[in-house]
A = this chain, B = another copy of it.
């Protein structure tokens, strides 16, 4: 019998069955791969310790074929918050700097805009006023100042902004403010058959503009806050116009609700960093079988910013104080991460 490999192949089971059809090679290849896998540290930017071990152990248990906690690949879902979990959210979430740039642009054309609140506070980066507005109101401002264009136009504009926009204190591009240990974790989960989603309070269109390049997460695996869309037709061409009206603020209990709507399956693993993620972390952790919920604690003033309960736009209080009771694994940035940024 001639060996046949069907490709393109995107299904792991097809690959394995194809390998099984290479009788002379498959056994030696498999053991070679197993050795290579064992020798390579899949999370080199994580320090050795209980946290890293809990992640490696969890993945080993749910992927061990024939093991008591084995979960088939199609059920291996992981959900990650974005701001503060996959990349830096200090001093403000990156999308708010896009808002600030947009308001500056509008104000340059019409100075009356810049003289009015809350636009004045945004232009002056008056954090006291900005924090007073709260996360949802700021998000609605983002949506209002980026409405009347199509989702495709917004995607391009956000992508272009991200090519040059820099973090105000770190000096690096915003899109380079991703956490290296987390990018490694996403790759490790992917190699182990997990489908990882972003489930963020940030605007879904904004995250889609960089998630694929930054994290390897395709746009259809991004769940976020959203505006209502209008279906328009012009000269036979259909498009989706972003309206200034909020469709969903994806924070708190909306996170598990949107996981139910978009994914339809309780994830095995969730990762967050604030009380806005707590419902998602508890929803995931309280499912049957092996589950892992992780919470990053920003306790590293030297390499990033040390903050938790006092960050008005996304405080961390209950999730930290009751983590043991809720079975949430706290990740200390200072203790558990060898490096922070890429």
Q: Which residues in A have some Cβ–Cβ distance to B below 8 Å?
A: 2-12, 15-16, 19, 25, 29-30, 32-33, 36-37, 63, 73-74, 77, 151-152, 155, 190-193, 195, 204-205, 208, 212, 218-220, 222, 226, 229-231, 233, 236-240, 247, 253, 256-257, 260-266, 279, 282-283, 286, 326
Contacts and interface: CB of A to CB of B under 8 A. Distances in A.
Given A10-B193, A37-B6, A220 B263 contact: yes
A208 B230 CA distance: 27
Contacts of A226: 261
A251 B172 CA distance: 45
Given A7-B15, A231-B283, A236-B282, A220 B151 contact: no
Contacts of A266: 152
B220 A264 contact: yes
A261 B247 contact: yes
A208 B7 CA distance: 28
B219 A10 contact: no
A264 B229 contact: no
B8 A9 contact: no
Contacts of A286: 236-238
